[in-house]
Amino acid sequence: MDRRSMIRNAGIAGVLTSGIAPVVHAQTAVRWRLASSFPKSLDTIFGSAEMMSRTVRALSGGRFEISVHAAGELMPPFSVVDGVQNNTVEMAQTAPYYFTGKDAIFAFGCAVPFGLTARQMDAWMEHGNGRKLLDEFYSRFNMKSFSAGNTGTQMGGWYRKEIKTVADLRGLKMRLGGGLFGEAMQKLGVVPQNMPAGEVYQALEKGALDATEFVGPYDDEKLGFNKVAPYYYYPGWWEGNAELEFFVSIRAFNTLSAENKAILAAATQVAARDMTAKYDAVNPLALKRLVAAKTQLKPFSKEILDAGFQASMEVFAAHEAKSQEFKKIHQDMRAFQRDQILWERFSEHRYNSYMSAQRI
């Protein structure tokens, strides 16, 4: 009688008394790597990747682990999409609009000028057509996407001089995060500069930059922009939200068991919610500190907002004329946005307008 037959016929009690060790088929351990576009110092954004990794490990009992690597550890911050596409790493965490040089459609996965808010983006991506349309697009780069969290509406950036009119933007050398915003700002006379967040402070200090935008008070305070550019404008009309994404290699994803696929999906949701909630918690306190440190907080004029809107619509029209896929995604997003704005007239907007006038 062979070993398996003996175990089968003896039953568990017989196995225990016979001294024969049972054969245990343990689930194969999975070890992945994630390359982020962000430094560890940004505990909000980079922290989302760390939260996802911890959750995957906890839910899998350590059988599925994803090591998280900050910008520059495995590859440059703007090379992470190539890393996933080429299967150098299984995952990336990034802002999709960094990669509009590959295709302008990447912007819709993060932020476009006068686009959605964070809640609207979440609704479009998960219960509208957003995730479906963008994953169809990402599939040509061997990727699928999961939300890594959202910054919410961003600030309008730091400036070394006051920006009172559109004319004050002309010739301004400004670090921009990426995407279609740069094209719109070029129409207003700005000279866009694309560089990692960690290099911006010195560029501002030395005068190589006149202005920068990044996220909002909490991250901007960490990066020290208020020390070299005293004027802080709002709102960031180019980023009514900014969705960060986990990009996952389709080939790697397809090797996962059904259980590990579910674990990964759940872990990204935990991380995304945590990041957005953290921004909402820490930004008000950081803004108070910045103002106390003599930051000059100023709104963009209606003239500048109107000029930005017009320039942005021209950019969208130009891309629609070149790409039917761009047009399809843009028009789907705008239709969703119109319904969201209609609903918020009767809910969030009216409520927030009233509460902002109250003393509580």
Contact between residue 60 and residue 284 where contact means Cβ atoms under 8 Å apart: no
Per-residue pLDDT, 2 = 44
Other beta carbons within 10 Å of 8: 12
Q: What is the largest CA-CA distance in the chain?
A: 91
Per-residue pLDDT, 27 = 63
Least Cα distance to 212 among 256, 257, 238, 174 occurs for 174
Contact between residue 154 and residue 242 where contact means Cβ atoms under 8 Å apart: yes
**Domain at 157-240+284-338, CATH homologous superfamily:** Periplasmic binding protein-like II (3.40.190.10)
Rounded to whole angstroms, the Cα distance separating 47 from 59 reads 18
Rounded to whole angstroms, the Cα distance separating 46 from 246 reads 11
CATH 1.10.150.130 fits 30-152+242-282, yes or no: no
Other beta carbons within 10 Å of 155: 23
Per-residue pLDDT, 1 = 43
Phi-psi region of 234 (alpha: psi -120 to 50; beta: other; left: phi over 0): beta
pLDDT along the chain (360 residues), means of 10: 42 42 59 96 96 98 98 96 98 96 97 98 98 98 98 97 97 89 96 85 95 96 96 97 98 98 98 98 98 98 98 98 98 98 95 94
Q: What is the DSSP string of 238-254?
A: T-S--EEEEEEEHHHHH
Contact between residue 182 and residue 194 where contact means Cβ atoms under 8 Å apart: yes
At 147, is the secondary structure helix, strand, or coil? Answer: strand
CATH 3.40.190.10 residue spans of the chain: 157-240+284-338
CATH 3.40.190.170 residue spans of the chain: 30-152+242-282
Per-residue pLDDT, 26 = 52
Contact between residue 89 and residue 33 where contact means Cβ atoms under 8 Å apart: yes
